[in-house]
Structure 1
Amino acid sequence: MIDIVIVAEKSYFIDVGKVVKFLNTIKSRILNRDMIRLGLVVFSKWAAPFMDLTTDFYRVDKIYESIPVVKGRPEPALGLYEAGDMLIDFDEGLGNEKVLVLISSLTVKPRIPLRLAIIFLESLHVNLYLLTTSRRKPKWLSELPENIVKNVFILRDHNMDKIVRNIFSY
């Protein structure tokens, strides 16, 4: 079984339309595959799980769309910690593959260091992918481990299928 948790930013910094389109793309890609559970964590200056790991993920895009935008500086580390807790809570001890997809604007350097959240996720043996809706990768990303920086993708309308294929080729 594969557990996928999508950690998506909902703030004034992110292109919500691209996030919804990506959620539609990943949903349609895994809809007919067996043994996949999907979860959704949404963050801005706070983080909260909006959909626990489930095989009934048909409305993940609508759930994300219905969440209001919150003012404040986005803190992706909070979303990563929340997603890690979700993976721990729903771990059945079967050695499931764990994939975490962080969708963030990454335009503003977070106050809470991402490095510590990434170390926490590495201890859970999670494959982490970072997607940004910014036009280019911010310079502060070079502070992150090299194996994470190579899994940072710029989310564009024409490359969403390629990113989803990349996620499933780990």
Structure 2
Amino acid sequence: MKYASGSALVAIVTIAALQANAKISLEDTAQTSFDIGGEIAAECKVSNATSDNATSLDLSNASAQTAGTLSVWCNTGQNVADTTYSSANNGFLIDESGNQIAYNINVGDQANSLSLSSPQTVQQANGTGTGGDSEATDVAIIPQVNGFESSGSYSDTISVTVTYN
């Protein structure tokens, strides 16, 4: 006589238990129901379309220069989201020698001349709905220059995080 191995024996016992639970009783009827459901967590998504001139801004010019367009979508049904802008260099463009140029940002019509010396949160329009349609907002950089800056190639990284209200 040959005996089943441990895992095969467990499988046989499990199948037998499932079949035992599948029996119909005299109390069963021609209709039944069961509840189903789940959850979708509230979330927002952000993307950017960086402008061609984002890395070649005219740093001798103190006017607002578009650096990109930020698109926001949330599944909460609300029309605005909290969008936080932060700078890797605390609001400075820095060159390879360590020279710095301060700058501010404009976020569409929502906020003007924000310093990124600390993170800044802006309530920004966002798209909603199941199509993923978003609301786009231009982001402009305003170099804080006076005409006596050192020559060099300056840069910074702006990070954007979006959360629902």
State the TM-score, normalized to the length of structure 2: 0.29
Highest relative contact order (Cα 8 Å, sep 6+), 1 or 2?
2
**More helix by percentage:** 1
State the TM-score, normalized to the length of structure 1: 0.28
**More strand by percentage:** 2
Larger radius of gyration: 2
